[in-house]
Amino acid sequence: MSMTRQKIAITLPEEQVAAARRAVAEGRAASVSAYISQALARRDADEEMAETIAEIYAESGYPTEEDRLWARRVLGLEP
């Protein structure tokens, strides 16, 4: 899928710029632009997941404490 791209100027805290440049230097991102694009895509996915979870809770209710304990045992987080 081809995406139309647009160049913009943004201002970021020095720490975030350094993190983006580090990611490029370590090969975790092709460029600073790619790093920021990936971060925005993750944020979009997180927001979509939060909306989906909210819909599930609205339809089915929130997990009980018993549900949470069961899940923790199944996931191996509780002995």
List, in order, residues 6 or more apart from 69 with CB less than 8 Å away. 78
pLDDT (tens digit per residue) in 60-73: 999 999 999 999 99
Binned at pLDDT 50, 70 and 90, residue 3 comes out as confident
On whether residue 3 sits in a domain, the answer given is: no
On whether residue 21 sits in a domain, the answer given is: yes
Q: Which domain holds residue 61?
A: 14-74
d(CA 33, CA 21) in angstroms, rounded, equals 10
On whether residue 24 sits in a domain, the answer given is: yes
On whether residue 69 sits in a domain, the answer given is: yes
Shortest CA distance to 16 belongs to which of 38, 41, 44, 35?
Answer: 35
On whether residue 35 sits in a domain, the answer given is: yes
Per the confidence metrics, is the pTM higher than 0.85? no
d(CA 69, CA 73) in angstroms, rounded, equals 6
On whether residue 46 sits in a domain, the answer given is: yes
Average pLDDT value for residue range 9-31: 97
Instruction: For residue 24, count CB atoms less than 10 angstroms from its CB and return exposed for 0-12, middle for 13-18, buried for 19 or more.
Output: middle
On whether residue 26 sits in a domain, the answer given is: yes
